Structure 1
Amino acid sequence: MSAVLSDRSDRAAGRRAGSARRPLLGRFAHGYVAPAALLVAGLLYAPFLWTAYLSLTRYDGLESPEWVGLRNFARLLGDPALLTSVRNTLIWVAGTMLLPVGVGLLVAVLSYDIRGGAWFRLPFMLPYALSGAGLAVVWSPILSHDGIANRLLGVDTAFLQVAPHNTLAMLLVWTWQQVGVNTLLFVVGLQSIPKEPVEAARIDGASGWRLFRHVIWPLMAPLTAVVVGLALVASLKTFDIVWVMTQGGPGRNSETLAVTMYRDTFVASEYGYGSAVAVLLTVVTGLASYLYLRRQVR
């Protein structure tokens, strides 16, 4: 009986000691999180809610918003310019998965385990220092009708004037910039792979493509999910390179959803309709990210 009472008293003393060591954490845990939560709410959620409200109005930026309900979204369904921007956005998504991510993985694998691999990767890293607008300024004269590209290739191609060639040309420029950062991320993933499984596979006779396909690639799956997720979001909101190189033209045949949103809002001064496009872009980006992350978790 005395042993049981002693054990109970020891546990009670332990609980009192634990609560004495963490009094503030238990009492004010929500208080520590509240400033960060309020900051996030103020910077992210409040502007989105305001945009969602404007998408249900007719607003030119000067007069008071006029409530129109879902008319802006109904207009979206019949807008041919929106269909074109959706097509171009899908091209950007597919191209980003194949080119910047695929080429980045290839460069990382080929340069990882060789002497001087870091110097081999350096030329791919340098373009990432440029902004999207700077990138467009550099490449616009190169891809123009009388630019260097036509002279070197000996062709007479309007790279930026004909759809979908203009979107594909800008996608190649985007690849030139983005390969470097994807290569760096994949190299980090290769460095984090345990050596034991790779060495065991080599002892069993695996090498080359078989070693990469069945051992290295599965071990890199977590980092690959991160790289693809970042590339997916970046491609969905492509704006600066398209706006500087073509401004969505000629006409509106190279617009992406982000460019359509900008043009309708700030060029045409249709803030309500532009906000509807912004809400659509947010929903598409959030849904695509959710579906991708859910599949990766499974």
Structure 2
Amino acid sequence: MVQRNIAKYTTMAIMLLPAAIIIVVFLIAPSILTILISLTSLDYRFRWEWVGLSNYYRFLSDPNTPIFFRNTIIFVVGTLTFNVGVGLLLALLSTHIHDTIGTFLRAVWYMPRVLPSVVWAFVMMWMFSPMDTGFLNSLLKSMGGKPVPWTFQYYWPFLFIVNGFIGCSLGMVIFSSAIKSIPQELIMAAKVDGASGLTIVRRIILPLIKWQIAFVVAYQTLSLLASFEYILLTLDGGPGYYSTEVLILQAYHLAFGQYLAAMRFGYAAVFVTILLVVGLVLSIVYWKVFRLKELMIEPKLE
């Protein structure tokens, strides 16, 4: 019996070893290295001069730090709301029409995710350009209207749309699969009892896909904390003084977005470390609030 248990756990350890190596090499080791770098004055000369918590004191005393936090919260909450809301809406619409049309609709909405980032950013900048030659302003001008400075006046909605069209496709696919897995007998029985479409969505569909919604919310929250690609490609933290500069984008600017002599890897690592801590805290909160542990409990066979 003992030998059988040893063989069992040995087999489990061997099976888990590749995943454990990947986690250590690509997740744990870089995280530890980032924390160590944040305790140094590492710059373009790559000299490891230990400064302790000086970078953190500087971070806390920087008058721009509240701006970076505020922008990060606005960006994450706004984009997350767009991603989950639009993704759920698209999933409901595409699963309640003909399968061919629904599949085509999902494929069209998935296109921004497979486009190169630079191409998608260029298309969106052209559509929302504040110039007369922009797509939306050209339409307004043809109807006798005045051009609107979209990216200057409505920069946060612009970023929500640019990032949201990418992010909502993931939720759309996950939610669509979950909705299609719901037994049709439940929905048919509800219709026979006189339930409206809104009641079916609210009382049957949404409760049955709550785990998928929880996963998408948790995953995309953590993903958005480290997302700055489309902010960089479109507004680059502007317009104006740090109008859309989030924490991770500021870290990029400090480390790579300046001239060689101005690169401050040590101070930039502070921003990444702070985001790492925030991500860990949010992971624990989501784990508790959404009861994600129940997803891993073995099903009880009657």
Write out per-residue CA displacement over residues 72-100 of structure 1, whole angstroms, 9 at most, x where no aligned residue. 11222232333222222212222223212
CA distance in 1, matches of 2:105, 2:11: 52
Aligned to 1:39: 22
In the TM superposition, residue 212 of structure 1 has moved relative to its aligned partner by 1.0
2:201 aligned to which of 212, 217, 229: 212
Q: Which deviations, in whole Å up to 9, do the C-alpha atoms of 1:215-240 show, x marking residues without a partner?
A: 11100111111121222122222211
- The answer for the alignment partner of 1:120 in structure 2 is 105
State whether residues 56 and 69 of structure 1, in contact with CA within 8 Å, keep that contact through their aligned partners in structure 2. Answer: yes
1:156 corresponding residue in structure 2: 147
2:54 matches 1:71: yes
User: TM-score, normalized by length of structure 1?
Assistant: 0.84
Identity over aligned residues, as a percent? Answer: 31
Q: 1:295 to 1:27 in 2, by over 3 A?
A: closer
1:170 deviates by 1.6
Q: 2:81 aligns with which of 83, 90, 98?
A: 98
Preserved CA contact (<8 Å) 1:56 1:67: yes
Per-residue deviation at 1:108?
A: 1.3
Bigger radius of gyration:
1
Task: Indicate the residue corresponding to 2:179 in structure 1.
Answer: 190
Per-residue deviation at 1:26? 4.4
Distance 1:151 1:73, change over 3 A: same
1:47-105 Cα deviation digits (max 9, x unpaired): 11111011112121314222222121122223233322222221222222321211111
Q: Which structure 2 residues correspond to residues 174-253 of structure 1 after superposition, within 5 A?
A: 174-250=163-239, 251-253=241-243
What secondary structure sits across from 1:140 in the alignment? helix
Matches of 1:244 and 1:37 in 2, distance apart?
35
- Flag the 1:48–1:61 CA change in 2: closer, same or farther, 3 A: farther
CA RMSD after TM alignment: 2.4
The number of residue pairs the alignment matches comes to 279
Secondary structure at the aligned position of 1:155 is classed as: coil
Give the match for residue 12 of structure 1: none
**Rounded Cα–Cα distance in structure 2 between residues aligned with 1:247 and 1:281:** 19
Mark the CA change 1:110 to 1:288 in structure 2 (over 3 Å): closer, same or farther: same
2:251 is matched with 261
158, 161, 168: which one pairs with 1:172? 161
Partner of 1:277: 271
How far apart, in 1, do the equivalents of 2:163 and 2:9 lie?
49
The letter of the residue matching 1:135 is W
Aligned partner of 2:119 in structure 1 is 134
Residues 88 and 167 in structure 1, CA contact (< 8 A), matched pair in contact too? no
CA contact (8 A) 1:56 1:71 kept: yes
Greater Cα shift, 215-224 or 113-122: 113-122
TM-score (norm 2): 0.83
CA deviation string 1:136-179 (max 9, x = no partner): 122223323212222323433333345xx323212112222333
